[in-house]
C-alpha cells in the first residue's frame, strides 16, 4: 500500500512538473513574440517619423 502511494504521488508530481514546464515554455514564447512585435513597431514608428520629416522639409 505504501509503495503504490509513492508511485501514484511520483507520477502526479511528474505530470505537474511537465504542466509547469509547458506553461513556462509558452510564457517565454509569448514574451519573445511581444519583444519582436515591439521592435517591429519601434522600427515602423522611426520610419514614419523619418518620412514625416522628409515631407515637412519638402513642403516648407
Q: Where are the domains of the chain?
A: 30-60
pTM above 0.95, yes or no: no
Q: What is the pLDDT of residues 21-54, one digit of tens each?
A: 999 999 999 999 999 999 999 999 999 999 999 8
Helices (H), the chain: 2-59
User: CA nearest 51: which of 43, 28, 21?
Assistant: 43
Q: What is the rounded CA–CA span in Å between residue 34 and residue 28?
A: 10
Expressed in angstroms, the distance from the first to the final Cα of the chain is 88
Distances (CA, A) of 36 to 18, 25, 29, 50, 53: 27, 17, 11, 21, 26
Nine cell digits for residue 7: 508511485
Amino acid at each position: 500500500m505504501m509503495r503504490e502511494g509513492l508511485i501514484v504521488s511520483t507520477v502526479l508530481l511528474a505530470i505537474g512538473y511537465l504542466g509547469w514546464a509547458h506553461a513556462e515554455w509558452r510564457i517565454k514564447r509569448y514574451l519573445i513574440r511581444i519583444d519582436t512585435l515591439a521592435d517591429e513597431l519601434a522600427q515602423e514608428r522611426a520610419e514614419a517619423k523619418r518620412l514625416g520629416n522628409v515631407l515637412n522639409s519638402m513642403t516648407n
